């Protein structure tokens, strides 16, 4: 019994290794000037994607056993493993970046928040009354509607903050990311500070982030970005926008 199954187990091991080599070749790290971060993201993404490859490798091996050509057999098994792990590829990419940031907090990019309109101007434009109390509202997101796989997105989220006496106030910002593949939306790990506490002057502000995309993202994949702002005791105000991979 052991003599008969040993060659199959050996071929399975070789096939799985071949699949992981394919993954290593296909997976590209986030676009960054920091080579250490690139290497970390690549390593983490391969590890996360490989966790889902086992079932696919077994399915691929089943088809490989009926192949007359040994090279084709290994190729079929490798493809099976890659397909098995592909289901979690989009999630793995952003989870990998988050994992690397947690291991190396100094790598986390600082979000850029700047005031774009003064308090008096926004107060006049919105017809704000002091009786409304402290007000925080997300107004719009500016980002491209399409992106090429592997390119980074510059996303600018505008929001206003108003206070009765024009004094600065504490706010909470929240950033969320989702992938929409074949009509199904999946929550992703936002790469960077997903929640942030800030004290700002009243007026209009712009929050700018630099969002990488997987170089292996399939055409038609959509990424939905959601930005929220809130102040204590008030409802959360959110805006959202979607980009499609060409």
> pLDDT tens, 188-205?
999 888 999 999 999 999
How far apart CA 172 and CA 76 sit, in angstroms, is: 50
Predicted pLDDT of residue 6: 58
CA distances from 221 to 58, 87, 94, 182, 246 (A): 27, 13, 15, 8, 8
Four-point Cα dihedral 139, 112, 45, 151, nearest 10: 80
Predicted pLDDT of residue 80: 41
Predicted pLDDT of residue 107: 84
Predicted pLDDT of residue 214: 86
- Residues lower than pLDDT 50 in the chain: 1-2, 5, 18-33, 55-67, 70-71, 73-87
Minimal CA–CA distance to 17: which of 62, 45, 54, 44?
A: 54
Given 3-state DSSP classes, what are the helix, strand and coil percentages for the chain, each rounded to the nearest 5? 40, 30, 30
Where in the chain are all domains bearing CATH 2.60.40.10? 110-245
Which CATH number applies to 110-245?
2.60.40.10
Report the share of the chain in percent with pLDDT over 70.
Answer: 69
Cβ atoms of 143 and 153 within 8 Å: the answer is yes
Beta-strand runs (E) in the chain? 112-117, 135-142, 146-147, 153-162, 169-181, 184-188, 195-200, 203-211, 222-230, 237-245
């Amino acid at each position: 019994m052991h003599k008969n199954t040993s060659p199959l187990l050996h071929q399975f091991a070789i096939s799985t290794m071949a699949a992981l080599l394919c993954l290593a070749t296909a997976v590209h790290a986030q676009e960054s000037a920091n080579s250490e971060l690139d290497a970390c993201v690549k390593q983490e993404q391969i590890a996360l994607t490989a966790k889902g490859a086992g079932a696919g490798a077994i399915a691929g091996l089943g088809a490989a056993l009926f192949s007359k050509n040994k090279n084709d057999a290994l190729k079929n098994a490798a493809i099976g493993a890659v397909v098995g792990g592909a289901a979690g590829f989009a999630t793995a990419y952003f989870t990998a970046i988050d994992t690397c940031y947690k291991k190396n907090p100094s790598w986390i990019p600082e979000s850029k928040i700047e005031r774009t309109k003064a308090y008096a101007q926004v107060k006049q434009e919105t017809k704000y009354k002091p009786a409304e109390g402290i007000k925080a509202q997300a107004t719009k997101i500016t980002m491209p509607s399409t992106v090429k796989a592997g390119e980074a997105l510059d996303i600018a989220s505008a929001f206003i903050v108003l206070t009765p006496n024009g004094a600065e106030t504490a706010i909470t910002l929240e950033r969320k990311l989702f992938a929409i593949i074949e009509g199904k939306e999946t929550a992703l790990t936002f790469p960077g500070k997903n929640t942030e506490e800030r004290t700002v002057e009243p007026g209009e502000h712009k929050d700018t982030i630099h969002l990488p995309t997987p170089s292996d993202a399939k055409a038609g994949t959509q990424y939905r970005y959601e930005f929220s702002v809130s102040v204590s005791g008030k409802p959360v105000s959110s805006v959202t926008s979607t980009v499609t991979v060409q």
